[in-house]
């Protein structure tokens, strides 16, 4: 608590990820639609919003917060474009909480629309998105990594997994278990793209090798989607119909862009982010009832468990083997199915983890409810294990 004010997450909005999105919307339209849904969820009015957090929008590639304020017809006391990839969601939540606790603003939208825009007549859509900025003139990534094929996340994360297997004991079955148990959770999530497709460990181990040692079913399915939350003062959040979820600890750590230049391939940035988040929250790892960890790949989850301090370094594999990670298990993780089970709704993928834990703490997870959860842990991972954010969330 800073300045006597605390910040809490309240309303939620989440669209089911889809491989093909049949209702194209401009970024500002999608932002507005998510805003309406998240505010309705909390029973709040648009005029109460005075903080805007967004990422770059196709129809507002510059001055995005101003474009959002104008489009939504609100005046903001805080506006920010967050560019931390998969860590954006968790990063937005702590930035909003910090701004609110500092007294800068009262209620923030943290929204990540990620749906295709209507096609522009006469213009072929750009096919350069897969370069992820490496084709920009002067980009180091473009000169020293892209010519060798190190461009998209698959190969970066594969090299993390490969090095981890060299330094520590890790059986392919253990990584497969992460995908399988996430999928079991997804079977009860009506928004999950794989809600009708259970898988076994053998299915994972027999799925095609894509980037050694990662197989197809260990790799997230790219989708379109959209999701977001309202963060406001604890006082205002108490006057909604929803249990306020206090942002009680947070941390962020950024060390590299390309995995080649990471300080370590096997000790990831979440170490510092988690230590800061737990110290700020004043609780230990054992206080966590439910966790939701960014799962672009199975290896991301294993390393995040380990480097968040839930077990000793190198014991991540044993931890996964010894615990039941399903929503009814002894260590519920990614109870929405994870992005591996739900589909990665583009930029919204990271928000699915925030919403997963908030939904549990608000007691709204329906058949996936873990019981009376009081405290949750959320991580976001952006770039190529480049930037990570940890959140400790607490029901009020």
Partner 1 sequence: MADSPPRILPKPTPATAPFWEAAREHRLLLPLTADGEPYFYPRAFSPGSLDPETEWVEGSGRGVLYSYTVDRRGTSPAFAARAPYVIGIVELEEGPRLTTNIVGCAIEDVRIGMAVEAVYEDVDGEVTLVLFRPA
In the region spanning residues 260 to 279, those forming contacts with partner 1, defined by CB under 8 A, are 260-261, 265
Q: Is 20 or 148 the residue whose CB approaches partner 1 more closely? A: 148
> Residue 22 has which token pair?
């049949």
Question: With helix as H, strand as E and coil as C, how does 135-182 read?
Answer: CCCCCHHHHHCHHHCCCCHHHHHHHHHHHHHHHCCCCHHHHHHHHHHH
Q: Which of 12, 72, 76, 159 binds partner 1 (CB under 8 A)?
A: 159
First to last CA, the chain: 13
Instruction: Please give the Cα distance from 325 to 341 (Å, whole number).
Output: 13
Q: Which of 10, 55, 88, 155 binds partner 1 (CB under 8 A)?
A: 155
Place of tokens 């206080």: 287
Q: Which of 146, 229, 234, 296 binds partner 1 (CB under 8 A)?
A: 146
Number of residues that bind partner 1 (CB under 8 A): 39
138 contacts partner 1 (rule: CB under 8 A): yes
Instruction: Please give the Cα distance from 51 to 10 (Å, whole number).
Output: 14
In the region spanning residues 186 to 215, those forming contacts with partner 1, defined by CB under 8 A, are 208-214
Residues 277 and 237 sit within 8 Å (Cβ to Cβ): no
73 contacts partner 1 (rule: CB under 8 A): no
124 contacts partner 1 (rule: CB under 8 A): no
CB 271, min distance to partner 1, A: 19
Q: Is 186 or 211 the residue whose CB approaches partner 1 more closely? A: 211
296 contacts partner 1 (rule: CB under 8 A): no
Is the bond preceding 8 in cis, omega lying within 30 degrees of 0? Answer: no
Q: Which of 147, 198, 366, 371 binds partner 1 (CB under 8 A)?
A: 147
- Quick one: DSSP state of residue 211? E
Q: Is 11 or 213 the residue whose CB approaches partner 1 more closely? A: 213
Q: Is 363 exposed, middle or buried (CB count within 10 Å of its CB: 0-12, 13-18, 19+)?
A: middle
Q: Where are the beta strands (DSSP E) in 86-180?
A: 107-114
158 contacts partner 1 (rule: CB under 8 A): yes
CB 171, min distance to partner 1, A: 17
Q: Which residues bind partner 1 (CB under 8 A)?
A: 127, 130-131, 134-135, 137-138, 140, 142-152, 154-155, 158-160, 162-163, 166, 208-214, 258-261, 265
């Amino acid at each position: 608590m800073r300045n006597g004010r605390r910040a809490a997450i309240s309303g939620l909005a989440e669209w089911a990820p889809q491989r093909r999105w049949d209702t194209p919307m401009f970024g500002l339209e999608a932002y507005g639609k998510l805003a309406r849904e998240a505010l309705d969820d909390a029973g709040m009015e648009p005029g109460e919003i005075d903080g805007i957090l967004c990422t770059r929008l196709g129809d507002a590639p510059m001055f995005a917060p101003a474009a959002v304020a104008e489009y939504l017809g609100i005046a903001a006391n805080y506006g920010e474009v967050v560019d931390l990839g998969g860590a954006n969601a968790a990063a937005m939540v702590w930035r909003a909480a910090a701004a609110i606790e500092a007294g800068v603003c009262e209620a923030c939208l943290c929204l990540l629309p990620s749906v295709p825009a209507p096609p522009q007549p006469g213009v072929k859509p750009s096919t350069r998105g897969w370069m992820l900025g490496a084709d920009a003139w002067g980009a180091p990534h473009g000169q020293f990594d892209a010519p060798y094929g190190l461009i998209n996340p698959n190969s970066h994360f594969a090299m993390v997994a490969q090095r981890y297997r060299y330094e520590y004991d890790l059986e392919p079955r253990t990584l497969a278990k992460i995908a399988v148990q996430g999928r079991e959770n997804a079977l009860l999530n009506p928004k999950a793209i794989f809600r009708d497709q259970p898988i076994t460990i053998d299915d994972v181990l027999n799925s095609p090798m894509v980037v050694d040692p990662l197989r197809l079913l260990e790799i997230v399915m790219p989708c379109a989607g959209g999701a977001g939350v309202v963060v406001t003062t604890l006082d205002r959040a108490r006057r909604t119909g929803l249990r306020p979820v206090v942002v009680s600890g947070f941390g962020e750590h950024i060390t590299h862009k390309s995995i080649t230049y990471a300080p370590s391939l096997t000790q990831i940035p979440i170490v510092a982010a988690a230590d800061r988040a737990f110290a700020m929250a004043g609780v230990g790892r054992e206080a966590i009832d439910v966790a939701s960890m960014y799962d672009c790949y199975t290896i991301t989850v294993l390393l995040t468990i380990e480097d968040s301090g839930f077990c000793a370094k190198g014991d991540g594999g044993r931890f996964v083997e010894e615990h039941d990670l399903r929503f009814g298990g002894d260590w519920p993780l990614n109870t929405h199915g994870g992005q591996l089970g739900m589909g990665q709704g583009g930029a919204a993928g990271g928000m699915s983890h925030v919403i997963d834990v908030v939904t549990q703490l608000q007691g709204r997870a329906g058949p996936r409810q873990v019981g009376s959860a009081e405290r949750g842990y959320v991580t976001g991972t952006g770039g190529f294990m480049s930037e990570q954010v940890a959140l400790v969330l607490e029901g009020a």
